[in-house]
């Protein structure tokens, strides 16, 4: 299996997407961006809203930094992408408050500005986009938002289902609310379980890959012996 | 009979003997509670043990692994959860606590000897958060009723730790605390029996004296420095040390072979940290007694503390040898 290299320049776009979104999932493997999931990911609406905020921030920012990142001094890069992220998030917050849902904004008003200094932004934009070609940067931003969104959607859906027995504010028919599921510890346990599950899947894949490699290696040896 | 030995225990000690010792201590605490309250505490402890055992069996069957009930750690987890419950706790609370302890806090980490967090502390922490009212209502010990299934006629009372937390005046004397005629959880009120358990476990080499002394000294110092009870300083120290789950934590959770450091130096450091954390949570925490939270917070540090003390030991040894 390919080891991630420093430049990622030779990677295919699909490999980048698969690697960032699933195999090296932001939250479950690299443990970044955990805070919004634990504090705000208590119902599906907030979760999806935060995932969209991540997408809205990351996509233009990655493109911008992959285009002009190399021309900016090293010390100025974090200032630049944090500032642009903050500007984008201010716009998002105003749109959310004025035209989408004031109640949702009231719930998330603390966490949307915090996304600007989130490790997702600094890690993906600062660590990947600068020095990669624009297509790869855009694909990486999409993958990061997708990976983060997938995790926060699963966690927030489960927490909403258990704590209030609704999904997307629609009752599901059972009535056994456990309000403790909205507390942070429940999210930590869920994330831990999901991280363990992902590790298990990766290991199983790796084992099957290794078996294939072993088989081919065996065949090769046999071939040389016969020769 | 083959004895199961894990690397977390000192050479020659089997897990079974450790589990057996702790279960004897738990039984002693339960018997004393039976004398005071009737059969209900026994029922609570047995249900907690049964829930833990069933959870572990189900987990092992689901993962298609060898059933690991034989080492007795599931019984210990259930027993410790049982004696940390109030005698009038609703029956579903110990069931949930034990099941959580095994299914979430123990088995996903690899089962006995590999768990990072103390399963019993995790179970108790969960029900403390989820069923706060059930976990903080204790029967008045002077009421002299025999409790069985129905608990509707019981007079509720706050524990001594809760009175300390709320800043109220408590009238418990040293004798009350010694013989357990104070409101509190099944296994935590009777200081005399807890000390007997401590001595028994020390005699069986399950307890590390250094760690325990460090823990108690830290708690004493903090109680002296920041007294919460009215009256003189020593009354404050007495009430702090002998109320709630402080002493229980020192006897049982502090000496769990899997989730605490193994070297003596590490155990002392762990004891000091745990004492500080327990007193910190008592002063600033949300609950009257945060001992199980303190244990959970410090459990992941145990391997790090162990490594540091080992490195310190090596460093001192090297310097000493060079000087020779």
Q: What is the pLDDT along chain B (324 residues), one digit of tens a residue?
A: 344 444 454 444 567 888 899 999 999 999 988 888 888 889 999 999 999 999 999 999 998 888 888 888 999 999 999 999 988 888 999 999 999 999 999 988 888 888 899 999 999 999 998 888 888 888 887 766 677 766 666 777 778 888 788 777 777 788 888 888 888 888 888 899 999 999 999 888 778 889 999 999 999 999 999 888 777 788 888 888 888 899 999 999 998 888 889 888 899 999 999 999 999 999 888 888 888 999 999 999 999 999 998 888 888 888 877 665
**Would you say residue A3 lies in a domain?**
no
**Would you say residue A140 lies in a domain?**
yes
Q: What is the pLDDT of residues A28-50, one digit of tens each?
A: 988 888 888 998 888 899 999 99
Q: Which of A162, A163, A180, A184 should we substitute to test contact with B (largest number of B Cβ atoms within 10 Å)? A: A180
Residue B15: exposed, middle, or buried by beta-carbon count in 10 A (0-12, 13-18, 19+)?
Answer: buried
What domain count does chain A have?
1
For each of the domains in chain B, give its residue range(s) and CATH number, in order of start.
15-323 (1.10.3430)
More confident residue, B78 or A126: B78
Given CA atoms A46, A47, A52, A55 in this order, what sign does their dihedral have? positive
B268 close to B210: Cβ distance less than 8 angstroms = yes
Q: How many helices (H) and strands (E) does chain B have?
A: 15, 2
Q: Which of A183, A189, A196 lies nearest to residue B129, judging by beta carbons?
A: A183
Q: Which helix (H) or strand (E) holds B158?
A: none
What pLDDT sits at residue A6? 46
Q: How far is A186 from chain B (nearest CA, A)?
A: 10
Q: How far is A123 from chain B (nearest CA, A)?
A: 27
A180–B104 CB contact, under 8 Å: no
Domain that holds residue A180: 13-226
What pLDDT sits at residue A222? 39
What pLDDT sits at residue A3? 41
Minimal-distance CA residue of chain B relative to A177:
B130
B129–A178 CB contact, under 8 Å: no
Q: Does residue A68 sit at the B interface (CB-CB below 8 Å)?
A: no
Given CA atoms A143, A147, A149, A150 in this order, what sign does their dihedral have? positive
Q: Residue B64 contacts by C-beta under 8 Å, 6 or more apart in sequence?
A: none
Q: How far is B297 from chain A (nearest CA, A)?
A: 12
**Would you say residue A206 lies in a domain?**
yes
Distance CA A85, CA A118 (A): 10
Minimal-distance CA residue of chain B relative to A179:
B130
Q: Which of A180, A192, A193 lies nearest to residue B130, judging by beta carbons?
A: A180
A12: left (phi over 0), alpha (psi -120 to 50) or beta: beta
Q: Residue B267 contacts by C-beta under 8 Å, 6 or more apart in sequence?
A: B208, B210, B211, B214, B260, B261
The pair of three-digit structure tokens given for residue B159, joined into one six-digit string? 């524990």
The answer, as to whether pTM is greater than 0.90, is: no
A192–B108 CB contact, under 8 Å: yes
**Would you say residue A73 lies in a domain?**
yes
B12: left (phi over 0), alpha (psi -120 to 50) or beta: left
What pLDDT sits at residue B3? 44
pLDDT band at A179 (very low <50, low <70, confident <90, very high): confident
**Would you say residue A5 lies in a domain?**
no
**Would you say residue A98 lies in a domain?**
yes
Distance CA A214, CA B155 (A): 70
């Amino acid at each position: 299996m390919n080891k991630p290299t420093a430049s990622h320049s030779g990677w295919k776009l699909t490999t980048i997407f698969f690697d960032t979104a699933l195999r090296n999932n932001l939250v479950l493997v690299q443990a970044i961006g955990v805070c919004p999931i634990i504090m705000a990911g208590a119902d599906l609406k907030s979760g999806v809203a935060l995932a969209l905020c991540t997408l809205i921030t990351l996509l233009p920012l990655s493109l911008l930094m992959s285009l002009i990142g190399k021309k900016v001094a090293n010390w100025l890069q974090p200032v630049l992408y944090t500032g642009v992220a903050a500007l984008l998030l201010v716009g998002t917050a105003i749109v959310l408050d004025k035209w989408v849902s004031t109640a949702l904004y009231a719930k998330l008003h603390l966490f949307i500005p915090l996304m600007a200094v989130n490790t997702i932004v600094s890690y993906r934009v600062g660590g990947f986009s600068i020095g990669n070609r624009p297509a790869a940067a855009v694909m990486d931003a999409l993958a990061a938002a997708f990976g983060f969104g997938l995790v926060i959607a699963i966690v927030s859906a489960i927490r909403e289902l258990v704590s209030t027995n609704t999904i997307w504010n629609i009752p599901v028919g059972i009535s056994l609310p456990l309000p403790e599921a909205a507390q942070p510890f429940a999210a930590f346990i869920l994330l831990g379980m999901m991280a363990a599950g992902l590790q298990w899947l990766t290991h199983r894949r790796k084992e099957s890959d290794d078996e294939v490699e072993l088989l081919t290696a065996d065949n090769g040896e046999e071939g040389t012996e016969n020769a | 009979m083959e004895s199961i030995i894990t690397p977390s225990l000192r050479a020659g000690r089997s897990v079974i003997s450790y589990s057996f010792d702790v279960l004897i201590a738990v039984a002693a605490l339960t018997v004393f509670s039976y004398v005071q309250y009737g059969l209900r505490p026994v029922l609570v402890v047995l249900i907690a043990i049964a829930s833990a055992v069933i959870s572990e069996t189900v987990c092992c069957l689901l993962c298609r692994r060898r059933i690991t009930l034989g080492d007795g750690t599931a019984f210990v987890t259930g027993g410790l959860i049982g004696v940390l419950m109030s005698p009038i706790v609703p029956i579903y609370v110990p069931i949930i606590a034990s099941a959580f302890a095994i299914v979430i806090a123990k088995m996903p980490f690899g089962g006995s000897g590999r768990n990072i967090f103390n399963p019993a502390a995790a179970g108790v922490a969960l029900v403390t958060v989820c069923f706060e009212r059930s976990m903080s209502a204790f029967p008045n010990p002077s009421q002299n009723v025999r409790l069985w299934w129905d608990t509707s006629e019981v007079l509720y009372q706050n524990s001594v730790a809760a009175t300390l937390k709320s800043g109220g005046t408590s009238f418990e004397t040293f004798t009350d605390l010694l013989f357990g005629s104070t409101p509190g959880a099944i296994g935590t009120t009777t200081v005399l029996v807890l000390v007997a358990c401590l001595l028994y476990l020390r005699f069986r080499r399950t307890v590390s004296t250094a760690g325990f002394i460090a823990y108690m000294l830290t708690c004493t110092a903090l109680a002296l420095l920041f007294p919460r009870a009215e009256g003189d300083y020593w009354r404050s120290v007495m009430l702090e040390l002998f109320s709630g789950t402080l002493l229980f934590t020192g006897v049982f959770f502090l000496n769990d072979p899997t989730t605490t450091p193994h070297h003596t130096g590490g155990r002392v450091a762990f004891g000091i940290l745990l004492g500080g954390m327990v007193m910190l949570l008592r002063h600033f925490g949300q609950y009257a007694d945060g001992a199980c939270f303190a244990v959970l917070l410090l459990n992941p540090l145990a391997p790090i503390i162990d490594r540091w003390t080992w490195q310190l030991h090596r460093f001192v040894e090297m310097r000493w040898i060079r000087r020779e």
